[in-house]
Homo-oligomer: A and B are copies of this chain.
């Protein structure tokens, strides 16, 4: 007689039953209400939370951050703190995006110059100039030493 059972939730959100139970245990999702048999009875509010968890996890948040967020949410009047977490994660996401963009540039460069690059690589002719060329692609801000 569950409203939505474990299996349906798995299908909807894409976490396995085991994973859902694991998340509940470590505190990523709040304790789910049970029906008369002790079976989990997921409500829309739970699905909403799981939806958010799914997105944030896919975006690369750690379980730790998600647990912190879940705790704040369950323990009352910490809306500014929660909002701060979301904003912080948004900031991280933006940084990550920028990082990925740079890596994409590098990949494109590597693909474009592949023949040349590999030829040098194999013959051992690749020298400091080539490495310099890569440093200049702005991924690292280190001082090359003599």
Contacts and interface: CB of A to CB of B under 8 A. Distances in A.
Interface of A: 8, 11-12, 14, 43-45, 47-49, 51-52, 54-56, 58-59, 73, 79, 82-83, 86-87, 89-90, 93-94, 96-97, 99-104, 106-108, 110-111, 114-115, 118, 121, 124, 126-128, 130-131, 134, 139-140, 142, 144-145
A115 B126 CA distance: 58
Given A52-B106, A86-B111, 13 more contacts: A14-B140, A44-B131, A45-B121, A48-B126, A51-B134, A51-B139, A55-B107, A56-B103, A59-B104, A73-B121, A86-B110, A96-B100, A97-B97
Copies of this chain, complex-wide, total 2
A103 B93 contact: yes
